[in-house]
Chain A
């Protein structure tokens, strides 16, 4: 019997039949996450109903040396939850209880399958919300957000998932369950919670998270400013930041992204715009009103030909709808597209946009630009037609964009994660030694290398080896390497 077959019978012996999926047709429905260009049918799928279920399956995996991959809602865009044919996919979406809502403590305790937006909905009557707001927040799970350190439009002011998680319950790769942190701040010891958030499922499976709830701000104002050119919109972003204003969000869409959004959800953005900027301010009313005046003035000075201020939540919702649906909307104007996620220093925006334009032009493809302009997080959408054999060229353009980000001192991913998709780029951003040292953390958690193997790191390290190479011994003073007192 293969290890996977042994694991399957162990799961069937312990769990309910409805929790264990072995039918090939059913298994295939889990073959990819939100990045459907990579597919791999899992050897087995288990739908966990409790931490104990997760602990049991992982312990069996450890005993049988079978790899496991955790999956929440499956909306990830880097193939982080891409299954293994030789392993089990542990689905946490049925662990969807909000365990406790503690407004007095400004915390919520949630199971990993809780949908991001549902937490804010539950906290809202108490005057609170959960800040990280990835565009997929209506469907993505908090467990997945924790794995990917998800951001969203509002992380410019409020930070990412890592800033909002204060405690975790984790099933470690040996099957044991451990808790780190809690509701109080500054837990004693290494910041293991900080290391776990964003580790993309490679250090274990999160089975419960304690997260911060923020007070709903007294006032929110959303401005939609339309510009003739994307350069003018970029200038407005720089002017706003230089003025010392820290908006909750600054989002930019170019003409192609606007066209797509209009085709899909009709947000009614100003006609003739080469770019629109969405600026959202929140905080105490007096502060927001003063900043709103600044933002309007600065956008006007940068050349905005029309500015609209959302009069109410409905208008705000419509402005945001165009932005948040932009990825999917691109499907209306192109048969296929690649969503890219790169980061540049904000000041390099104009240079990089021009370079993207050139790269796309050379390849004869179109690129729609949607991005979190305030923090330099680009989401270029490379449009192509597979039927016309453009796939390879599109991938080249997409890769070239990542290299542009690195050339300008940026990052290969701002919020979608490395997952499977960007493993090839890690060696361009980090040295082999950097990656080896990061994997010391992996070795502390998962010496067997069974927790979502093949993600993040291009080369797994054999735990026990020391990173780097040792050079010969040189007496300190002789080499003159340090002043000796």
Chain B
């Protein structure tokens, strides 16, 4: 199957804020294979993700898009019996090279999961968790400042500022997911991976998350997996289409949804299968 690698140039969408988007490659994946035991889940994936854009991964269930996302911060390491081949370069450094500090990698590449997973602690402690374990902050007031900033970045501050000490589990589903985003943002990662972050949310909460993603790309490189093609079209600059563990096509989102190069992509986005 034809695999098109990313062009270094980015087409700025009409709706995007007028600013120069850096075309520097943040993440470069070369010939990535991935195995669950003997089952090969990813075949020879090669893709480049430029800095400070939103890259969406679309494709039917089981196509490997989540698996691929999880190779970018080595979250698959925790699943026994998995194996990786090929290279994942972040800032030109192979994260699967021996001697890579996985803990440090995950600080730089944050992740938001499909199902919100706040810790059974207070709202404040949830956001402070990453800061505390990484000893990012020295003083207590600095910690409070960072927590406040993260909650503001995640557009949650106004809703929770008066009850930071209450349980995170008392928040609504959409708020919990934004809390998880705040938690990931607090340690200021360079890349933010989002695995279907809005799939369990209602339309209002979803639109809040989408607005948030749009804001966040000014500072972060965002990779989002989504089932929802409209969502990919709304939030992303570039879109990659996966099928059966292979990367079929990657291009500017506009191109993918209006004039895809590959017939299979067209069949999928027009709803002929999947």
Are the chains A and B members of one assembly? Answer: no
A residues contacting B by CB (< 8 A) are none
